[in-house]
Amino acid sequence: MNYVSIIIPFVGGLGMFIYGMQIMAQGLENAAGSKMKTLLEALTKNKFFGVLLGALITAVIQSSSATTVMVVGFVNAGIMNLTQAMGVIMGANIGTTVTGWLVSSVEWAKFLSPGNIAPIAVMAGVIVMLTGKRRSTKDIASIIIGFGLLFIGITTMSSAVAPLEESEGFRNIFVTLGHNPFLGIIAGAVVTAVIQSSSASVGILQSLAAAGLVPFNAAVYIIMGQNIGTCVTAIMSSIGAKKTAKTAAIMHLLFNIIGTIIFSIAGILFFAVINPQAGLGMITQTEISTVHTIFNIGTTVILFPVSDWIIKLAKKIEKEDKTEVEDNKVLLDERMLETPGIALQSVVSEVCRMGRIVKGTMDKSKSVMFTKDYQNILDIKEEENTVDGLCRGISNYVIKLNSLSINEKEHQHIASLLQIISDIERVSDYCENISEFAETLKERKTMFSDVGSKELKEMIEVCADSFRYAVEALEEHSKEKALKVIEKESQADELEIRLRAEHMKRLAKNQCNTDAGIVFLDALVCLERISDHSRNIAEEILTITA
């Protein structure tokens, strides 16, 4: 038997299958876009909702490995806690069964025969892509083309391995895997770990099953091993991440190992004791999809009530670090760029965190010119350095995100976020200027008059409220808060003009200290510009939420 003539088309078919799966997933993801982002925003500590979310996202992006890698990234970024992550991981295992059902549809839906539908799908997709002008139309074309290529790939693999049906040695390999559960599990895990896709690994198994090569018992153990092998991607992605993210990867591994142990015991009892003949018959593609689905849903149902114990066990294994996240570290993960719609939401979360840090700086600035507290002056300067670092890190990440395949609305959202990042950073700069004014007053041992202090406090309150509303509008996507910012900014403009005029009158009458008077005027300028930048943020939010 010429094995080269089998291996080459098989590898080519596998490549086409994986490529078709990827471009179909990319098209689905682009089409879903903001809907996936909205789903993530709605995520709560309710693990059941997390299961549904994980299943849905995995069904869209066609890869449980990609979903769990994203989960590791979210945990690493502090966007998701381990309880939420556990739910999404369980759901991801269910969502990954969709590809298997697509492949097996050639058996239970004869009209979907690859020979009939795949070439038509590819041609139709190409026509739509060449003639379509809108981005959404091209996304639909990608879905159709990917669907067709996926079927062509599985057909090529099945055709390539068909001659192996006559190979007694090859058939004996699968018979051995069926009689030895441990070897079957190892085989499934190794193949999946190598190609880093359980969907593709199941596709390979289905192509062998189509050639009548795989006994039922061997397929069951291989499928369980495939679920363990898919954990390798998430574990590799957690290298270099925080301990909490590594804990999430270990949770995924534990979940699949425990599920495999439970179902392996059930499988051994069934095939060895209850019905030995059931394991000897050849399995079909549809039966593989059924076994894969039963295993993943069954594992979730069994382990869902004890999922908190799995989290605790993972924490003990990893010895999770409970220390707080460092403010100056940019919590954005390159892994999430694989899913731009969700990566965009992680950027929004990080920009909100940057805004909260500056809001804290603004709160310190409200009193520092009157108290001249040295520790507050140092804290403001330190926080400004932190914000500078965050600004650079987030901006670099956003630029990478902007170069990916995203829709026009997401490009506009990114442009608005870059402007918001710049405005928040400028507010931080002005807070540092205010701390320097406090240093000047302290060094020169001078202070504002009672009238000057009262007026400046009034201006500070208005401008601080303006920025506070801007940050809240960003966090809550609130048009009402954004409109309040604009109202406060107008009030700050009027106040700045009035206070400047009154202060000039006092200076002319020698009613205040000259050094303090200069600081007063400079402070008015800084505060008024803080309100200007707050208004800029509000206007960008109104653009995003329009």
Burial class (CB in 10 A: 0-12, 13-18, 19+), 505: exposed
Q: What is the pLDDT of residue 532?
A: 96
Helix (H) or strand (E) holding 473: helix 450-476
Residue at a domain's end among 285, 318, 351: 318
* Nearest residue to 5 (alpha-carbon basis) of 162, 175, 140: 162
Q: What is the pLDDT of residue 143?
A: 82
Selected residue with higher pLDDT from 75 and 184: 184
Within this chain, do residues 412 and 500 fall inside the same structural domain, yes or no?
yes
Within this chain, do residues 344 and 286 fall inside the same structural domain, yes or no?
no
323 in any annotated domain: no
Q: Compute the mean pLDDT over every residue in the chain, rounded to the nearest whole number.
A: 85
Per-residue pLDDT at 31 exceeds 70: no
Q: What is the 3-state secondary structure (H, E, C) of 123-142?
A: HHHHHHHHHCCCHHHHHHHH
CB-based contacts of 62, cutoff 8 Å, min separation 6: 21, 22, 24, 25, 28, 96, 98, 99, 199
Within this chain, do residues 167 and 237 fall inside the same structural domain, yes or no?
yes
Instruction: Give me the half-sphere count of Cα atoms (radius 13 Å) on the Cβ side of residue 208.
Output: 22
326 in any annotated domain: no
Within this chain, do residues 285 and 357 fall inside the same structural domain, yes or no?
no
Query: Can you tell me whether residue 485 is helix, strand or coil?
Result: helix
CATH number of residue 413's parent domain = 1.20.58.220
- Domain span at residue 145 reads 4-318
Q: What is the pTM of this model?
A: 0.68
**Residue 486 near residue 535, CB atoms below 8 Å:** yes
Within this chain, do residues 111 and 72 fall inside the same structural domain, yes or no?
yes
333 in any annotated domain: no
Within this chain, do residues 57 and 198 fall inside the same structural domain, yes or no?
yes
b/e sequence 61-93, b meaning 16+ C-beta within 10 Å? bbbbbbbbbbbbbbbbbbbbebebbbbbbbbbb
Within this chain, do residues 290 and 385 fall inside the same structural domain, yes or no?
no
Within this chain, do residues 311 and 375 fall inside the same structural domain, yes or no?
no
Within this chain, do residues 279 and 418 fall inside the same structural domain, yes or no?
no
* Residue 293 C-alpha from the chain's centroid: 25
332 in any annotated domain: no
As given in the structure block, the two tokens for residue 508 are 């002319």
Per-residue pLDDT at 110 exceeds 70: no
Q: What is the pLDDT of residue 240?
A: 66
Residue at a domain's end among 251, 284, 318: 318
275 in any annotated domain: yes
Per-residue pLDDT at 38 exceeds 70: no
Name, of 42-56, 125-139, 160-174, 230-244, the range with top average pLDDT. 125-139
329 in any annotated domain: no
Within this chain, do residues 133 and 270 fall inside the same structural domain, yes or no?
yes
324 in any annotated domain: no
Residue at a domain's end among 318, 351, 369: 318
Arithmetic mean of pLDDT, 479-485? 95
Q: What is the 3-state secondary structure (H, E, C) of 224-279?
A: HHHHHHCHHHHHHHCCCCCHHHHHHHHHHHHHHHHHHHHHHHHHHHHHHHHCHHHH
Sign of the four-CA dihedral 291, 293, 297, 303: positive
* Nearest residue to 433 (alpha-carbon basis) of 516, 357, 361: 361
**Residue 224 near residue 185, CB atoms below 8 Å:** yes
pLDDT per position as a tens digit, 213-238: 888 999 999 999 988 988 887 787 67
Selected residue with higher pLDDT from 245 and 436: 436
Per-residue pLDDT at 70 exceeds 60: yes
Domains: count for the chain = 2
pLDDT per position as a tens digit, 46-58: 778 888 888 887 8
Per-residue pLDDT at 209 exceeds 80: yes
* Nearest residue to 202 (alpha-carbon basis) of 184, 223, 185: 223
Neighbour tally for 470: CB within 10 Å = 35
**Residue 235 near residue 302, CB atoms below 8 Å:** no
Instruction: Give me the half-sphere count of Cα atoms (radius 13 Å) on the Cβ side of residue 511.
Output: 12
Q: What is the pLDDT of residue 324?
A: 44
Within this chain, do residues 263 and 369 fall inside the same structural domain, yes or no?
no
Per-residue pLDDT at 34 exceeds 60: no
* Nearest residue to 458 (alpha-carbon basis) of 420, 503, 413, 513: 503
Within this chain, do residues 307 and 349 fall inside the same structural domain, yes or no?
no
Per-residue pLDDT at 333 exceeds 70: yes
330 in any annotated domain: no
